Structure 1
């Protein structure tokens, strides 16, 4: 195995361990020593890739947010009609949150913690720009309520995190009908 591949595998192992521990224990109960142990690397190895815990968490957040938005916008085209584009993006986000639970849970944790620094939050927000642009176009075309992007996100995307958590706990099993109902509720909450 090449040195580059070994290095890449170690870094990936650290990223997965960080997500797993944060999802199960929270940020503050996830010391670097536990991350290293779960990743099966020495604690000193972490510092080859990350300056400190803050840097590790911020970089994992940006990396996961990038993968999330790449997935969300993979079949989206900015020239689509607003409703069609929103449906495609929303359903891809739903699919990601339900299929990539570890990553989605980690992002949900990040949304609710002061652990992520502001520069990283802004970097993460840039990844959502196509959705923000779609909403702006929808407002201009008189299709979407003139609400803050935060409110639009709260009404349309945030409920997916709740549904994901309920599914993870075994309280509710989502099927295609539920996804369609949830999409219709999301669209109806923001359309004029």
Structure 2
């Protein structure tokens, strides 16, 4: 049992080191040797858990995406109205990004790099299914604009990454008023104007 826990701890240390190094240095300036050193394991140990750097980054991305979406949908009830459902999900996403900026920054980097392979991206999108289902219901009810889910995500969710990164850099502080303003802007960007 202790051996299994030690193995889990090593793998978790590798994932944590990957996130930190990618956030600070980018994907290409994060060699396996640095990841191993930061995780306090030998470079050969990485290959017990991951096939290569691509596999390490892809698996880390999927794990972080799962953590993010589990948090985002934890209090969401699919039987609520489209508007209330979106508000609950959006505010949980904002809360996650503010409470866990390291994982949020890592996901933002993954969204903007070719480093994540397409199968891993598709796996990450599956984790967003409750939001996509909500948007589809909203489109069919004439509440959400009939646009691509990618465009909806770009206008309604991605701006949060910019705001969180701005806060991390110390140039902007997201207080309750800003969160509410950002939510209203997100909702207004995707709802059908009547």
Instruction: Report the equivalent of 2:170.
Output: 170
Paired with 1:175 and 1:11, the residues of 2 have a C-alpha distance of 36
Q: Tell me which residue corresponds to 2:79.
A: 79
SS of aligned partner of 2:76: coil
**Separation (CA, whole Å) in 2 of partners of 1:184 and 1:113:** 29
> Cα distance, 1:122 vs. partner?
0.3
Query: Using the alignment, how far apart are the partners of 1:61 and 1:171 within structure 2?
Result: 27
Greater than 3 Å deviation, 4+ residue runs: none
Alpha-carbon distance in 2 for matches of 1:189, 1:108? 20
2-structure distance, mates of 1:73, 1:144: 19
Distance 2:114 2:189 in 1: 29
Matched, 1:118 2:113: no
**For the aligned residues, what is the CA RMSD?**
0.8
Distance 1:80 1:48 in 2: 45
**Matched length:** 192
Aligned to 1:18: 18
User: How far apart, CA to CA, are the structure 1 residues paired with 2:134 and 2:34?
Assistant: 41
Q: Which stretches in structure 2 are left out of the alignment for 5+ residues?
A: none
Unaligned 5+ runs, structure 1: none
What pairs up with 1:45-124 in 2 under 5 angstroms? 45-124=45-124
Pairing 1:31–2:31 present: yes
Distance (Å, rounded) in 1 between the aligned partners of 2:83 and 2:97: 21
TM-score, normalised with respect to structure 1: 0.99
Q: How does 1:140-155 map to 2 (within 5 A)?
A: 140-155=140-155
Q: CA deviation at 1:80?
A: 1.1
Deviation by residue 1:6-52 (Cα, 9 ceiling, x = unmatched):
11111111000000000000000000000000001110111110000
Distance (Å, rounded) in 2 between the aligned partners of 1:167 and 1:188:
23
Q: Find the aligned partners of 2:61 and 2:189 in 1 and give their Cα distance.
A: 29
